[in-house]
């Protein structure tokens, strides 16, 4: 089950919403929590029934470990706590590694050792990369004594709250659990529901009306890469995919944030117009912000040590982006993509520290160009395919008027949609900025209704969210 389906919008969401606030209305607050947890379990099970037992076991196991860590405070338990935390983190990383990276390691062993170990083709549980990060954060913070006040329901709500369960944003327990405990949030607030529906409709439109058609077209190109690609199509589809990827992720984030508003829960912003960034350091401050926050808190800060040369800012940055690349996908293309991004961030940081500021008129298009080039590496299955596309970008021998004409004639709708997407990225405010001006009146209701109706009419063309593969 995903947000942009009839089942979710017309059945699951109304039943879950009405049940939750009906129980809250009659002051059955714990039952309301249980209802929301059970609904979230159903949401995951409906989308990934084969892996629900795994998900449930992982959630329960991490609670037991985290709860034990919370109780073992004090210097006398230092060794026990350290061993338990290490075991818990390794168990989470091990499960993620088994499901996501088994074939990757087998391929590399076969390549290096000349063996012929058969690939396992293990199916990846939906959302494992996201909830694993949240579970690790919970264990680390339990070790630090920051979760001792939470009961099992608080923990379950933090992990399973369905808007963010599968593809994020990656939330932190300290910003969500208190909201569920706040008595003001136990009642139905119509202004919040209206705000939530408005934001949800924007996200749904981003996903279904822009991202889905662009993704289908661009993925068709990258799935059939050959040598000697035409320069026009190489540039167009590379830009097209870069635009589609942003709208897919930010659309999902907007839908999650909108759903959170409906339940009086503020989910953190995940994107802040990244294609308006003037350099790659700023780009990663605006792109998938909750992932960057997690990696900064639990990877970067554990590597960086001020005054230690081999653990300086640049080393910590490269390590963090190596982890980010490896987290995104089980392949060397993802690893190299992460390293390249880390290198670009280091260059930007070095320039900023020396006040070598690039003017906006140059920095923004240059940063976007680099985002396009790195995204080619991200989307390509192999380095060979990436090389073909990159060579296609400078294949001037294929620059013919007929090629350009064919693109605009055969693919005029995708060309127009890409231009519209770029215009939105560069010249329109973010959803959060738009929502700041929101007022629960008929105008905004009509906006939301129109977008939702158009989306519902196009639900037979829904494409799976790109991050489901992670």
List active site positions: 328
* Cβ contacts of 302 within 8 Å, gap of 6 or more: none
21 token code pair: 């606030």
- Only one residue has tokens 């991490």, namely 62
Sign, CA dihedral 465-466-469-470, equals negative
CA–CA gap between residue 387 and residue 373 (Å, rounded): 11
What are the phi and psi torsion angles at 104 (to 5°)? Answer: -60, -45
**Helix H segments across 167-230?**
173-181, 190-205, 212-222
CA–CA gap between residue 358 and residue 277 (Å, rounded): 11
3-state secondary structure of 57: helix
- Only one residue has tokens 């860590």, namely 69
* Cβ contacts of 162 within 8 Å, gap of 6 or more: 16, 36, 39, 40, 43, 44, 259
Cα–Cα nearest to 32, from 171, 250, 187, 243: 187
Cα–Cα nearest to 430, from 248, 240, 242, 203: 203
Cα–Cα nearest to 325, from 304, 307, 315, 339: 339
CA–CA gap between residue 399 and residue 233 (Å, rounded): 10
First CA to last CA distance, the chain = 16
Residue 50 class from Cβ within 10 Å (0-12 exposed, 13-18 middle, 19+ buried)? exposed
CA–CA gap between residue 204 and residue 261 (Å, rounded): 15
Number of alpha carbons in the 13 Å side-chain half-sphere of residue 102: 13
**Helix H segments across 329-441?**
332-353, 360-379, 383-392, 401-410, 412-427, 431-436
41 token code pair: 């379990």
Please report, for residues 40, 247, 414, 419, the alpha-carbon distance to residue 274 in angstroms, rounded to integers and kept in the order given: 31, 11, 22, 17
Cis bond leading into 169, ω under 30°?
yes
């Amino acid at each position: 089950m995903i947000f942009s389906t009839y089942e979710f919008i017309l059945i699951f969401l109304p039943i879950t919403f009405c049940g939750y606030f009906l129980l809250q209305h009659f002051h059955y607050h714990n039952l309301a929590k249980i209802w929301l947890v059970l609904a979230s379990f159903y949401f995951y099970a409906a989308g990934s029934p084969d892996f629900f037992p795994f998900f449930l076991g992982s959630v329960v196991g991490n609670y037991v470990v985290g709860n034990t860590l919370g109780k073992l405070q004090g210097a006398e338990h230092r060794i026990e706590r350290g061993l338990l935390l290490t075991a818990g983190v390794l168990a989470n990383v091990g499960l993620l590694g088994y499901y996501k990276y088994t074939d990757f390691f087998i391929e590399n062993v076969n390549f290096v050792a000349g063996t012929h170990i058969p690939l396992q083709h293990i199916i990846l549980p939906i959302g494992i990369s996201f909830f694993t990060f949240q579970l690790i954060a919970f264990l680390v913070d339990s070790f630090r004594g920051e979760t001792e006040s939470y009961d099992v329901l608080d923990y379950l709500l933090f992990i399973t709250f369905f808007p963010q369960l599968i593809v994020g944003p990656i939330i932190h327990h300290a910003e969500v659990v208190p909201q569920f405990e706040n008595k003001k949030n136990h009642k139905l607030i119509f202004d919040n529901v209206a705000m939530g529906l408005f934001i949800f409709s924007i996200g749904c439109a981003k996903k279904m009306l822009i991202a889905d058609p662009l993704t289908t077209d661009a993925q068709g190109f990258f799935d059939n890469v050959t040598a000697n690609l035409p320069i026009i199509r190489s540039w167009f589809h590379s830009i097209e995919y870069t635009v589609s990827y942003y709208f897919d992720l930010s659309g999902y984030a907007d839908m999650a944030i909108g759903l959170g508003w409906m339940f009086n829960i503020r989910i953190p912003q995940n994107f802040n117009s990244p294609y308006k960034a003037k350099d790659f350091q700023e780009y990663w401050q605006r792109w998938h912000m909750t992932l960057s926050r997690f990696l900064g808190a639990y990877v970067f800060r554990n590597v960086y040590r001020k005054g230690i040369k081999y653990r300086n800012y640049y080393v910590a940055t490269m390590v963090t982006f190596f982890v980010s690349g490896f987290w995104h996908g089980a392949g060397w293309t993802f690893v190299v993509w992460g390293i390249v991004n880390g290198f670009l961030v280091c260059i930007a940081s070095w320039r900023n520290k020396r006040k070598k500021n690039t003017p906006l008129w140059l920095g923004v298009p240059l940063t976007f160009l680099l985002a396009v080039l790195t995204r080619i590496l991200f989307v390509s299955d192999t380095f060979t395919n990436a090389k073909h596309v990159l060579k296609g970008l400078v294949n001037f021998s294929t620059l013919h008027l007929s090629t350009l004409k064919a693109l605009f004639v055969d693919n005029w709708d995708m060309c127009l949609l890409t231009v519209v997407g770029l215009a939105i990225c560069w010249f329109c405010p973010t959803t959060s900025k738009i929502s700041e001006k929101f007022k629960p009146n008929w105008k905004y209701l009509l906006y939301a209704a129109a977008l939702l109706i158009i989306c519902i009419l196009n639900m037979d063309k829904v494409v799976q969210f790109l991050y489901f593969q992670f």
